[in-house]
Chain A
Amino acid sequence: MPDTVNYMLLGYAVLFGMPLLYVLTWWLRRRNLEKDLEMLRTLAEDKKP
């Protein structure tokens, strides 16, 4: 039986790593959007007569 353990480990690093990175980008996007929303709400309050 050939020793292909390293390829298996690399394969699973990709299979688990990619979705984790993707979900991390969501976290960053959500944080930025919440900041934007907060800022826009403050601006909207300031504009009120």
Chain B
Amino acid sequence: MIKSDRALHILNMATAALLIVATGLVFLYAPTERTMGAVQRVFYFHVSAAWVGLAAFMVTFVVGIIYLRTGNPRWDRIGHSSVEIGLVFTIMGAASGSIWARPAWNTWWTWDPRLTTYTIMALIYVAYLMLRQGIDDPNRRARFAAIYGIVGFISVPITFFSIRIWRTIHPVVVGTGGGDAAQGSFAMTDPMRTTLLFSVFTFTVVYVCLLANRVRLEELAERVEHLKARLLSA
């Protein structure tokens, strides 16, 4: 993905700097929300983590199509790495949301449409990783993974739009919509909006940075796999 060590190093440093600034905005710039208190600050990174999860699965969908058209294993490496990172961020989103929900909804978890579709989406991508583990032939594995990544992507828009389609307790924070059942909504002030947008941007850069590093690890794993296969066939 990023060939030069220097470029990757610059990206790593820029990502770390952005994370420091975003953390500063969350704790020092954004005001404390009156109804929920300090826990509302979880919202900035919770939304950003959930966004990265969805975006990562979208990348897997796109590179899956490109892989099926070109057959270049590079796209498979990106797809695989993206699912792994996407899952970590999806779990971060779920865990931080659950912690926010305890004081806001008075429960750690509820099977409402957003949380249910989100869980199903996460399980679909856990199965993606399990599927890859179960296939030895690299070409077959890449082809199956690409198809699975394309079909599995159906769960992403369903999860995103679930709070707009069904009556749910989860508040709508991006755009308009949602019903009267939503709990934990708040009026976003300008500093809150700026902090949210900057956090989402930062997490997107974090994702790109992690993806570039993860693809390198994947390349190393492939080198080991090729050498092993060559030794066994000799």
Interface residues of A (CB under 8 A from B): 1-5, 7-8, 10-12, 14-15, 18-19, 22-23, 26, 29-30, 33-34, 36-37, 40-41, 43-44, 47
Contacts and interface: CB of A to CB of B under 8 A. Distances in A.
Given A10-B99, A15-B49, A40 B227 contact: yes
Given A11-B100, A15-B46, A15-B49, A4 B88 contact: no
Nearest to B214: A26
A11 B99 contact: yes
B188 interface: no
Interface of B: 32, 34-42, 45-46, 49, 88, 91-92, 95-96, 99-100, 102-103, 206, 210, 213-214, 217, 220-221, 223-224, 227-228, 230-231, 234
Chain A, interface SS category? helix
Most buried by B among A4, A19, A33: A4
Nearest to A14: B95
B32 A1 contact: yes
Given A7-B99, A19-B92, A40-B227, A26 B213 contact: yes
Given A5-B37, A43-B231, A33 B220 contact: yes
Centre residue among B32, B34, B42, B217 by max chain A CB count within 10 A: B42
Main secondary structure of the interface of B (DSSP, over half): helix
Contacts of B40: 4
B217 A29 contact: yes
A11 B220 contact: no
A42 B214 CA distance: 26
Given A1-B34, A4-B37, A5-B39, 4 more contacts: A7-B39, A11-B45, A18-B91, A37-B227
